[in-house]
A and B are shown apart, each in its own frame.
Chain A
Amino acid sequence: MLRGRTVSGVEYPVFILVGMAPFLLYRNTALRLMDSLRENRSLFGYKQIKPLDTYVARVIVETCIAATVYALLVFGFAWFGFDMSIHSPLEWVFTLLLGLLFAFGLGMFLALVTHALPSLKIVIRMAFFPLYFISGVLIPASYLPQTMMPVLLLNPFLHILELIRAEVLPHYTPVDGVSVTYVFTFTLVLLFLSLGAYRARRMHLISTKNG
């Protein structure tokens, strides 16, 4: 049933996998960082361990899990005859890493915000749900309403997913306005903000019992 359908010249399952796997990794990374303080509180007894260490460790764990799952799925797809080759692998790896850096910055920012205001956690979790649709995880961004494009293009996830798909699928054309520079700038600003806020709040992160 599924084999017959294609999107921009590729089979639909391949199209979904290529975009959804990185998106889920980024979403999990960003959301799980909010809990990493609480989950690792007992480790702060060793004064060498800082909250930043738990953030980095969480990103590494999530990346390892996602990479393993992705590798298994790609292998499985290839086994059943789908074409899983990557069009431009080096750019693909670069974009994936850039996206991971963005997710790390975002997750840290959210972790710091929710540490100050714990009740925001549930709102932020819910806010990630519409991101599914406006980031074009299930459909190419060109299917999204064109009149809304200027607003939708503010969302870095959309840029990252379009870039990733353009790098994996040979005939995929991303929508106009997608740029790696935008993601890069956004990530840089976000990292600056969250690392700065972390610096200012680092003592509170260890000492208070909420979060």
Chain B
Amino acid sequence: MFELRNVTKSYLTPKGRRYVFRNLSLAIPPGKNIGLIGRNGAGKSTLMRLLGGADVPDSGTIATDRSISWPVGLTGGFQGSMTGRDNIKFVCRIYGATGEAMREKVRYVQEFAEIGDWIDEPIKTYSSGMRSRVAFGLSMAFDFDYYLIDEVMSVGDAQFKRKCAEVFKDKLQRSNVVLVSHSMPEIEKLCDVVLLVRNGGIQVYDDVAKGIEAYNS
């Protein structure tokens, strides 16, 4: 579960301070797959980063008793001038997978992302589809209680989406997902709870259909 207590988050821009969330308190029940929906710039990705501990609130606390993946997104998380293999090894070392475990994970990601010998090219030469396949595969190579997935699946082709769904089905037996997506069918299929991020506030909908309706209205 996640519990947010009095969370305030702002960013400093050249024109002053902009608040994304102000005094936000809510609890997300355990064991649910969470969908984050909202307009561009509403703060979905910020909320996800906060949940994952990749960013910290200005004030307030975010408590959880589960292991959470890094936010798997289209941007960030990779060093562009290093090769795909080096990036994978880097993350493996951070998460303590060395030796045979590391080789196993590199093999897994290479196979899952279907990048073949592109794995030894610098990440910055990858197309966005390849990059997202590597990012997604890499997070799937590790076991977490929650996976934070930020619009990664939406750029893949049909075949890749099918593959993602297969792996997900397997993973979701034991784990949960926090999904940012603009694709409502995807949210409907994967999520049990929807958080609608709007105007600096968050509404929790236990009924996914109602949440989507509220988003569309």
- Contacts A47-B54, A208-B11 given; indicate if A42 touches B76 (C-beta within 8 A): yes
- Which residues of chain A in 18-49 are interfacial with respect to chain B, using CB atoms and an 8 Å cutoff? 41-49
Interface: A210 (CB within 8 A): yes
Residue of B nearest to A49 (CB): B94
Q: Are B56 and A206 in contact (CB under 8 A)?
A: yes
Size band of the interface chain A makes with B: 10 to 19
Give CA–CA (A48, B95) in the complex, Å: 8
Contacts of B55 in A (CB 8 A): 44, 206-207
Taken residue by residue from 6 to 21, chain B's Cβ proximity to chain A (1 for < 8 Å, 0 otherwise) reads as 0001011000000000
Q: Do A47 and B79 touch across chains, with their CB atoms under 8 A apart?
A: no
Question: Which of A44, A49, A210 lies in contact with B12, CB distance below 8 A?
Answer: A210
The answer on a CB contact under 8 Å between A209 and B49 is no
Q: Contact flags (1/0) for A43-61 with B, using CB distance below 8 Å?
A: 1111111000000000000
CA distance A207 to B57 in the complex (A): 8
Tell whether, in the assembled complex, residue A207 and residue B58 are in contact, meaning their CB atoms are under 8 Å apart: yes
Residue contact A45 to B91, C-beta cutoff 8 Å:
no
Q: Is A203 an interface residue (CB 8 A)?
A: yes
Evaluate contact between B76 and A45: CB separation under 8 angstroms.
Answer: yes
Question: Which residues of the other chain, A, contact B73 by a CB distance below 8 angstroms?
Answer: 45
| Cβ B78 vs Cβ A48 within 8 A | no
B199 within 8 A of A: no
Instruction: Say whether B78 contacts A42, CB under 8 Å.
Output: yes
Residues of A within 8 A of B94 (CB): 46, 48-49
Q: For B12, what are the chain A residues with a Cβ–Cβ distance below 8 Å?
A: 208-210
Q: Which of A167-189 contact B (CB under 8 A)?
A: none
Interfacial residues of chain B within 31-87, with CB under 8 A of chain A in the complex: 49, 52-58, 70-71, 73, 75-79
Seed contacts A46-B94, A208-B11, A209-B11; 9 additional CB < 8 Å A-B pairs: A42-B76, A42-B79, A43-B77, A44-B54, A46-B54, A206-B56, A207-B9, A207-B55, A207-B56
9 interchain pairs, CB-CB under 8 A: A42-B77, A43-B79, A44-B54, A45-B49, A45-B71, A45-B76, A47-B53, A206-B54, A207-B56
